[in-house]
Amino acid sequence: MIKISLSKGFTLPRLGKEAFAKLMRSGVEYDKTNGLFTIKDASKIDSIVAIIRESTNDIISIELQCVLCGKDAGCYECEFSNGCDRLSVSNKCICKDCMLKGYDNYIEHIRSLIK
């Protein structure tokens, strides 16, 4: 299984020249020094996953990003992980720690983004 994190870099097996070029065109960046891929445009996640799936034939699992702290949202330990299709939900969720801070904290953060 290939785990793709939307908040930090992730590694991939060798994809081949064509698939690599397609990924770069789809808003993925590659850090040569550390061998890590990062997704710059999460709105293209569907096509990115499709490219990786096609070239690796492996199961892809996505880790969403916490909208507040920017870290991994903790999808693998989430109480809703079984029923959550992470490809069809918006790419930012909320981690357990930030969730405890409540809805008011969430809207304050959104307000700060708008300003």
Partner 1 sequence: MLVGKYRPKSIVEMVGNEDSRLAVLRWLTNWQQGSKPMLIVGPPGVGKTTLVKALTNDLEYEVIELNASDERTKDRLESIIKPLFTNANIYSRKVLLFLDEVDGIHGNYDKGGFNALLNLLNTATIPIIMAANDDSNENMKELKRVCNVVRFKRIPPRLLMLYLEHVLKQEGIDVSIGDRVRVVSESYGDVRTMLNKAQAVIDEVYSATPKAYTVPIEQAMNRFFSASSISDAIDALRSCEGFYSDPRFYRDSEDRRLDKLHTIYTSIVNSNKDIDSIAKMLDALSYADILVSIINSKRRWDMLRYLDALIAGSIFYASRGIAYTQYDMPYNLSSKIFNEGKVIRDITEVLAKVLHESLHNIKAYYIPYLILILSNKKDYMRSAIESGILPKDLKVLL
- Rounded to a whole number of angstroms, the minimum distance from the CB of residue 58 to partner 1 is 23
Name the residue with tokens 């992980």.
81
Q: Is residue 115 classed as helix, strand or coil in its secondary structure?
A: coil
**Cα(88)–Cα(45) distance, rounded to whole angstroms?**
10
- Interface residue list for partner 1 (CB under 8 A): 42-43, 64, 67, 73, 78-80, 83-86, 88-94, 99, 102-104, 106-107, 110-111, 113-114
Nearest partner of 8 among 48, 47, 85, 64, judged by Cα: 64
Complex with partner 1: residue 18 or 77, whichever CB lies closer? 77
CB of 114 vs partner 1, minimal distance in Å: 7
